[in-house]
Structure 1
Amino acid sequence: MASPKISAVTEYLSVGGNRHPAAADWDSQTGILAFGADNNVALWDPADKYHNGVYAILTGHTDKVNAVKFYTPPSSASSGSHHFLLTGSVDRTIRVWRYHKQQANHSNSNSTSTSTSTSTTRPLFQHVETLQGHESSINCIAVARGSELFVSGAADGTVRMWRLDTGKGLSCNGHENDFLTVQGQLVQTITLKPKFFPLALALRTLCVEKKEPKENGKGNATCAPPMVLAVGGTRNTIQIFVMQGYEGGEFELKASLAGHEAWVTSLAFTDMNGEQSQTSSQSQLQSQSQDIFLASASQDKYIRLWRVHAGDDRVPVRRNANGEAEVILEANVEQTLSNKVHEFEASGSKYSVTFEALLFGHEDWIYTVAWSPDLAHSKLLSVSADNSLVIWEPDPVSGVWYSVSRMGEISVQKGSTTATGSTGGFWIGLWSPCGDTVVSLSRTGSWRMWRFEETSDLWVQDVAVTGHVRSVNGIAWEPTTGGYLLSTGSDQTTRLHARWRHGSNSDAQQQVSWHEFARPQIHGYDLNCIASLGPWRFVSGADEKLLRVFNETKAIANLLENLTGFTGGPKPADMSEAANIPVLGLSNKAAKDDDDDYDDDEQQDEDRDEQSTSPPQSQLHLQSSSALNLPHPPLEDHLSKYTLWPEHEKLYGHGYEISALATSHDGTLIATACKASSLDHAVIRLYDAASSSWREIRPPLTAHSLTITCLRFSADDMFLVSVGRDRQWAVSRRVEEGGEGEGQSGPVFKLLCANPKGHSRMILSASWAPMVEGAGAGKRIFATAGRDKTVKLWVQGQDQDQESFTCKATMTLSSPVTAVDFLPVVVGQGWFFLAVGLDTGRLSIHAFAVDGLGKIGEGWALPASECPSKSVTQLAWRPVGSGDGVMDDKRGYELAVASEDSSVRVLRIDGLSL
């Protein structure tokens, strides 16, 4: 066999952000936003005009990433040659990534292109060092511009100071090469007393008057400006540490700022222009241009501003006739304010810290505060659990701080506050390097982005990235042409992903990018599996005993048709306009076109209470239709409110959580299984999806003794294969129509054969090969994959031996195999291609010849950069048929990948033509 040149291009990468205030940073040099995504670090260019979203993921951490920070040592600040990304994780390590440019594999090509794609050069980062020392989860990292040092805080109650030593590597001939050697050095460990967990750090250099270097008490000459470190966490005070400006200096506790009434969640230093920071009562000051301001946010719902003043003079306060400090306070906030002056000395200069202002306006915990990078305008950004993002400015005359812009949601999640144990709201807020864009991360792991339009003087929301925040457990293509991709996971959501065709109407200039277009299901249980029943319907299974069937709405169908070009054929006549969840309900309700559609008086009585607290049906129609009449993919606000699908049916019968699900290719049958530890529950239940009754076709199929992990129908729906934890596979065959019992209908399946020793350990996945034409017509082939690190190919016997399947080939891989899927067509002169996913996240493609199934073909491992970092949960090739966006051996085939690392990927596999 001639070796093809197989290549993989990531067309789509969807992943949600970690809900931690320090888990993202926006780089001022490259414009890249890096954020923690489970145990990975995702890279996103918010300024990308093609809206490609996440273009790369950095893998290496073994647990959730809590802290992300870009860092440039002063030695390379101008050139950017030594530009780093620092990431801290629950795995107790800090990983150092070095910046470099590489040709990214993200495609911007339109669907009319052949095998070529337009790639762009994007910043990537290479792992160069791992710093160890913390004994518990790392919560935060802080860097200071112009300093060789950075600090980290962890749940072990310590703050550690680090230095990165960088240098050129040497090639074999003794000359310097381009590889940068990086070695991390622990400089100091600060044990916080009284002990508390640091949640927020802020670090910066202090301004000093120019003086001749002099000997300090330790015999060292001052050679650098002193530094100040603010530490906040699981106490209501902020500790101020100062490091003298001599070599070998260490941080020492100088002050403890009191005022907050709860944990401190975020800290941020900034410089401020003296004219902007002066109030009318401060006009007599000669200069405050060297003052530093510290913003602190807390769970007490307040933001406090602190002034770090350099010099012997103190910031004057307004005094009354008796010479006493005059403070005008409201009675309910008087106890939170303090005018105490904290003084300290560093490198021969005197400093003082005083309380400056109290900002209130949020109604729940404040997670993040950040100063605008635009130093010409003093602006502070804050995000809160109350679902709001606020921009604050001081009044140029009075100096009083007030909110100039408020963005986000208002009362969207009823009762969803931290007081009720909710983890809602916005967790992260960041400014763009230019200060004209802000982003926030919401509780769903999705990003929101606002750009400031000078013409309208408004902040306008723009398309951002979304994704799952926990393991993605199931994926399913729309079965006719693969017009969209469904994914479901442990974050209790089902999401619909599709291509957005935008730009010029000309096919040659049209751009294509993938986005989340709907969130059909928001559940209260972790979702385990999903399968499509046609262009307008799907069924899902969760950690509950029943399955739920959902129908698409007209609003979503129109949105997909307008923005993706997917039509799916004639729309059903009974398609509802929209869906909503009643306030006290759990099921998505269809919005009827007219209230007279309720023919059942009893149903009217049952729904009356729910309708009394829900919007009128006509109002809901109008809201959904108008909200989704968009020129771009839905924003997070739309996804969470207007893109639900109404629940059509519930399927009962199982006694435990649903574990496996499959639908026939014609959409008329549903096969399901649940978690089981006995024969009674380890059964396969079939449901007739073609009838209006949705009744179970009895009797259920029995063969297994433990949980069934995977179910798959053959291409012609005549066979059903099941595999499970009991290490066996079973094949059932369709034999007749009509099940047992009165009124039963639908096809009946009978057990054909089973192999109780199919693998030596549990079997996790199975897939049928496409039907073979010509001499091998009628030959049935399926593959199984197991925890024993093998993939086995089973071929049906011929003539008199058609009721048995024999193992014709066995592949041994490096790790347990968790997912397999056959390309649904035979390629070239009779070749099967099988995609294989491992427990480690690695992916590979393997070839088998139709006329030589006993011989294993060549295998191609996909690059690690295109693979998940955790176990692959499911693989699914896009359907190959007629219609828009269909793949073939010249234009490549698309493979969807779901993983436990919370990512959904669509890879274009080129070079399968043999």
Structure 2
Amino acid sequence: MSVDGIGVERVFIGAGCNRIVNNVSWGACDLVAFGAENGVAIFCPKAAQILTTLPGHKASVNCTHWIPSSKFAFKEKQLERHYLLSGDADGVILLWELSLADKKWRHVLQVPQPHKKGVTCITGIMVSETDVIFASTSSDGTINVWELILPSTIGGDCKLSFLESIFVGSKSMVALSLSELPGNTGHVVLAAGGLDNKVHLYCGERTGKFVHACELKGHTDWIRSLDFSLPICTNDGTSSLLLVSSSQDRGIRIWKMASCSSQSNSKGTFREEKISLASYIEGPVLVAGSSSYQISLESLLIGHEDWVYSVEWQPPSVTSANGFAYYQPQSILSASMDKTMMIWQPERTTGIWMNVVTVGELSHCALGFYGGHWSPNGDSILAHGYGGSFHLWKNVGIEYDNWQPQKVPSGHYAAVTDIAWARSGEYLLSVSADQTTRIFASWQNEASFGGSDCWHEIARPQVHGHDINCVTIIHGKGNHRFVSGADEKVARVFEAPLSFLKTLNHAISQKSSFPEDFQVDVQILGANMSALGLSQKPIYVHSTHESPERNVNDGLDTLETIPDAVPVVLTEPPIEEKLAWHTLWPESHKLYGHGNELFSLCCDQGGKLVASSCKAQSAKVAEIWLWQVGSWKAVGRLQSHSLTVTQIEFSHDDNLLLSVSRDRQFSVFAIKRTGVDEVSHQLIARQEAHKRIIWACSWNPFGHEFATGSRDKTVKIWAVDKGSSVKQLMTLPQFTSSVTALSWFALDHQRNDGFLAVGMESGLVELWSLSVTRTVDGSMTVPGVTAALVRRLDPFMCHVSSVQRLAWRKSEASGDCKSVLLASCGADHCVRIFEVNVA
């Protein structure tokens, strides 16, 4: 097999955002960075696609910060490289470089002297085109300040120098902001806020020691966010600095820092005319070298009904051709746990700050926002929420503001445990420990960014009260159905409603894998969630014509008063609110029988049988159950293993069932259908195959050969001989990490060539070519196999923690080039799709 021309391209990444404050950053390069478990994900808001993930962190990523951030977008016109800082739960901070010319990323350095505990906030300012000062804070009670000199030439090195470590004691700081003091004094001011309800100001020179200058009191609960404006010039030529702070006391405060000389000048008529009605409370004086600044409370903004997690000034706009003069808009964005974001601006006549825009999920879907961010040009605002989801609004109005929701990437916010392709490959189904099942499909009739098909989440069929561990799609004729298994002892069967079938037709822009008249037979339009998330009840097509007053008698406000879902046919990729509520599938059956949490599921090729296993410590509990599709009766209980069966798979002809287990053994069963509802099974081989847990197995799609992969870092190829015994064909060279996922794909039936995709605990994926030979020796057929490594996927394309499952989908072969999609899911919260091109 010629494997020289193997090309692998990234098609799609789906991931949710870590549920933590300060995790998201929108840079001057118009890209958004966020932490997805221990990876840093980068997404493009214009394309609504995640572009890449950056591997390097060992612990969950807590915060990211772009250099330059959107605040310094007016300075970035001539920058060829942008930088990104990311901090994790172990206290490690990494610096990354993005080259704008070729969109290539590289890991530049790890900041020395890491924090002893998790990093909670990173902030930075550009003092000049190559000089950056940044600060980080941690729950270890310290704030570290660094100077970073960026290279002025291509290929140059970044120089990092340590300026100061400030110890703040047991009440650690969780919010930081840096600014240069106005008036060209060469001094930098650092604002820090946290658990003692005060804003602490530290003053220092660009090169040296930071001293505690003063503290601002007023908030009555933890301070969660701080942001300095850029210096604002007033009519009399002086400039002042504004600091906005937000707190868990639901309030937002704006503090003004004006140099004392300008304060005295403006005590006259100018001040009285300008701010006659605004509250003005004098605070402490901040001294920096020979300059001093009077601090006053400019305004108190009340409007949110819950903790205000973030506040941010609108980025300045450029007012001169050379890009150094700027205008700082008087506009603040706040995001709160009350599920809203607000934009605040002073009224033109009185100067009183008012809430001028409110956006948000005013429904019960989200549990609030952890942060809000401006786009560099100020026409879009982005929030990230408790459900790991993003929410983006763009101001599409011309003469007046009109903020409309936009498409954003989406994905799981916990480890993705299993994936399955639809039987015709139209979509990919994934399940996760975030207790949701999601469907991703390529939306072909979209005028997409870059001219190619874009993949989006188009449905969330199951939203459940348990972590979901495994899933299988039912093959064979009939409606789309899947079975999922969670941290409960029950498997659940779901069936596609009419609204999904019609949405799928829109998405793939051609007739789906079933005729229109089949859809007429589907009487269920969608599903409602139950109050406790225990079962999803169907909404029937005819019931939509009933009068909506049927709940009038339910006067009591109980748990059951969850509003009904409104299943609709989607004509474009849906936003989070529609996904979370209106795309559920009805549950048709529950399969009872297992004694513990379900662990693995599979369906045969003909769509007649489903096999399931659960977590087990004994042979009795480690049984594999067989279920008849349709009647959903238990038709077999296969006993062989003594510990959890980790994966099960039917052979291509459905005659054999392979299982692998934590007990280091594999088993092969012969399966025969003896009647309508009867199945006979016989154990034909059981063998201890590896020295450690066997995590994965996969059949050759055209033969009775199979592969097993184990924690002992090996992959072995086996053949079932004459249907009665198993012999080992070969062991692949040892891998660098535990093998956690395998998937075998056959290219050519006649020549029996194919690929084996190998996924590892490190997150890396390798492609091996496998060529099976069968030589006839007298009356015996002797199988053989040759293997070669053909591609190690780039770490920037791979997962950043353990690969949980790999699954091939064959797509159309055009001419001499075959194009195949490979899907993977991992503990890094990501679902990934790669396109493998074989010349």
Q: TM above 0.5, one fold?
A: yes
Counterpart residue number, 1:392 = 344
* C-alpha distance 897-624 of structure 1, shift in aligned 2 (>3 A): same
Match for residue 859 of structure 1? 789
Kindly provide the CA deviation profile for residues 249-283 of structure 1, in whole angstroms up to 9, marking residues without a partner as x: 311111111111111111001036566xxxxxxxx
Specify the code of the residue in structure 1 equivalent to 2:634: E
Structure 1 residue 428 corresponds to structure 2 residue 376: no
**Measured at CA, do residues 26 and 123 of structure 1 come closer, stay the same or move farther in structure 2, by a change above 3 Å?**
farther
> What are the residue-to-residue correspondences of 1:758-777 with 2, within 5 Å?
758-772=689-703
Match of 1:797 in 2: 721
The residue aligned with 1:218 is none
Contact 1:99–1:126 (8 Å) recurs in 2: no
**Whole-Å Cα distance in 1 between the matches of residues 51 and 391 of structure 2?**
17
Partner of 2:629: 689
Q: Distance in 2 between matches of 1:504 and 1:396?
A: 41
* SS of equivalent to 1:556: helix
Tell me the CA shift for residue 810 of structure 1.
0.8
1:198 Cα deviation from its structure 2 partner: 1.6
Counterpart residue number, 1:568? 513
Structure 1 vs Structure 2 CA RMSD: 3.1
How far does the alpha carbon of each residue in 1:750-777 deviate from its partner, in whole angstroms, 9 at most, with x for none?
222211x1111111111110225xxxxx
- Offset, 1:377: 3.3
Asked if the contact 1:501/1:510 (under 8 Å) is kept, the reply is no
- Map of 1:813 onto structure 2: 735
Q: Which amino acid aligns with 2:307?
A: W
| Pairing 1:267-666 to 2, within 5 Å after superposition | 267-271=226-230, 273=232, 287=236, 290-314=239-263, 339-374=281-316, 375=327, 377-413=329-365, 424-455=367-398, 457-479=401-423, 481-503=424-446, 511-534=452-475, 536-565=480-509, 567-570=512-515, 571=518, 573-594=521-542, 613-615=561-563, 620=565, 623-625=566-568, 628-630=569-571, 632-666=572-606
User: Aligned partners of 2:771 and 2:145: how far apart in 1?
Assistant: 59
Task: Kindly indicate whether the alpha-carbon contact (under 8 Å) linking 1:272 and 1:378 is maintained by their aligned counterparts in 2.
Answer: no
- CA distance 1:548–1:315, change in 2 (3 Å): farther
The separation in 2 between residues aligned to 1:129 and 1:465, in whole angstroms, is 29
Equivalent in the alignment of 2:164: 188
Q: In 2, Cα distance between the equivalents of 1:874 and 1:129?
A: 31
CA deviation after TM superposition for structure 1 residue 469, in Å: 1.3
Is the alpha carbon distance of 1:77 and 1:848 closer, same or farther for their aligned partners in structure 2, counting shifts above 3 Å?
A: closer
Shift of the alpha carbon at 1:585? 4.9
After superposition, the C-alpha distances for 1:463-483 in whole angstroms (9 at most, x for unaligned) are 11101111111000001x200
Answer yes or no: is the 8 Å Cα contact 2:612–2:626 preserved in 1.
yes
Q: Aligned AA for 2:633?
A: R
The aligned residue for residue 833 of structure 2 is 906
1-structure distance, mates of 2:89, 2:280:
36
- The residue number in structure 1 matching 2:550 is none
Q: For residue 845 of structure 1, report the CA deviation from its aligned partner.
A: 1.3
Distance in 1 (alpha carbons) for counterparts of 2:195 and 2:225: 11
Residue 777 of structure 1: aligned partner: none
CA distance in 2: counterparts of 1:612 and 1:673, whole angstroms: 34
Closer, same or farther in 2 for the Cα pair 1:82/1:907, shift >3 Å? Answer: closer
Structure 1 Cα separation of the partners of residues 661 and 450 of structure 2: 49
CA gap of 1:862–1:274, structure 2 versus 1, over 3 A, is closer
Q: Which residue of 2 aligns with 1:213?
A: none
Amino acid at match of 1:351: Y
Q: Distance in 1 between matches of 2:329 and 2:313?
A: 10
Query: Displacement, 1:888?
Result: 8.8
Q: Does the 8 Å CA contact 2:204/2:288 hold for their aligned counterparts?
A: yes
Q: Give how far 1:564 is off.
A: 2.1
Deviates more, 1:820-829 or 1:788-797: 820-829
**Is the alpha carbon distance of 1:158 and 1:376 closer, same or farther for their aligned partners in structure 2, counting shifts above 3 Å?**
closer
User: What CA distance in whole angstroms lies between the structure 2 residues aligned with 1:765 and 1:575?
Assistant: 39
Q: TM-score scaled to structure 1, two decimals?
A: 0.82
Tell me: CA distance 1:72–1:370, structure 2 relative to 1, closer, same or farther (3 Å).
Answer: closer
CA apart distance, 1:905 = 0.6
User: Over residues 804-843 of structure 1, what are the superposed CA-to-partner deviations in whole Å (9 max), with x where a residue is unaligned?
Assistant: 0101111122221111111145367331321111111111
Distance 1:822 1:101 in 2: 38
Contact 1:129 1:184 in 2 (8 A): no
Going from structure 1 to structure 2, the CA distance change for 1:610 and 1:650 (only over 3 Å counts) comes to: farther
Whole-Å Cα distance in 1 between the matches of residues 524 and 773 of structure 2? 50
Deviations 1:431-476 (A, max 9, x none): 1111011111122212111111123631011111101111111000
- Residue 150 of structure 1 aligns with an amino acid whose one-letter code is F
Closer, same or farther in 2 for the Cα pair 1:597/1:706, shift >3 Å? farther
Structure 1 unaligned spans of 5+: 104-121, 169-176, 210-223, 276-285, 330-336, 417-423, 599-604, 739-743, 773-779
* AA partner of residue 797 (structure 1): D
Distance in 1, matches of 2:468 and 2:761, equals 20
Shift of 1:287: 3.6
Q: Residue by residue, what CA displacement relative to the aligned partner does 1:840-870 show, whole Å, maximum 9, x if unpaired?
A: 1111111222216544321122222221111
Structure 1 stretch displaced more, 265-274 or 404-413 = 265-274
CA displacement at 1:89 relative to structure 2 = 1.1
Cα distance between partner residues in 2 of 1:899 and 1:289: 55
Percent identical among aligned pairs is 32
* Alignment partners' CA distance in 2, 1:786 and 1:862: 20
Match of 1:238 in 2: 199
Q: How is 1:111-150 mapped onto 2 (pairs within 5 angstroms)?
A: 122=103, 124-146=105-127, 148-150=132-134
How many angstroms does 1:17 deviate by? 1.3
AA in 1 matched with 2:289: S
Separation of aligned partners in 1, 2:299 and 2:557: 47
Distance 1:733 1:314 in 2: 89
| Aligned position for 1:781 | 705
Deviation at 1:244, TM superposition (A): 4.0
Tell me, yes or no, if the aligned pair for 1:259 and 1:338 is still in contact at 8 Å: no
What CA distance in whole angstroms lies between the structure 1 residues aligned with 2:652 and 2:368?
Answer: 46
In structure 2, the residue corresponding to 1:557 is in which secondary structure?
helix
CA contact (8 A) 2:280 2:298 kept: no
Q: How many residues align?
A: 793
| Separation in structure 1 between the aligned mates of residue 51 and residue 314 of structure 2, nearest angstrom | 26
Distance 1:834 1:855 in 2: 12
Contact 1:484 1:499 in 2 (8 A): yes
| AA in 2 matched with 1:519 | R
- 1:61 paired with 2:57, answer yes
Deviation at 1:533, TM superposition (A): 1.2
Matches of 1:294 and 1:611 in 2, distance apart?
43
SS of residue paired to 1:873: strand
Aligned counterparts of 1:596 and 1:349: Cα–Cα separation in 2:
71
Q: Deviations over 1:603-628 (max 9, x none)?
A: xx99x999973557xxx5xx322xx4
Query: Residue 547 of structure 1 aligns to a residue in which SS?
Result: strand
SS of the residue 2:229 aligns to = strand
In the TM superposition, residue 495 of structure 1 has moved relative to its aligned partner by 0.6
Tell me the residue number matched to 1:215.
none
Measure the CA separation in 2 of the matches of 1:391 and 1:459: 11
Choose between structure 1 and 2: higher strand proportion: 2
Counterpart secondary structure, 1:578: strand
With 11-20 and 588-597 compared, the bigger mean Cα shift is at 588-597
Return closer, same or farther for 1:166/1:589 CA change in 2, 3 Å cut-off: same
Match of 2:221 among 259, 262, 278: 262
Deviations 1:775-824 (A, max 9, x none): xxxxx1111111111111111213xxx31010111112222111111114
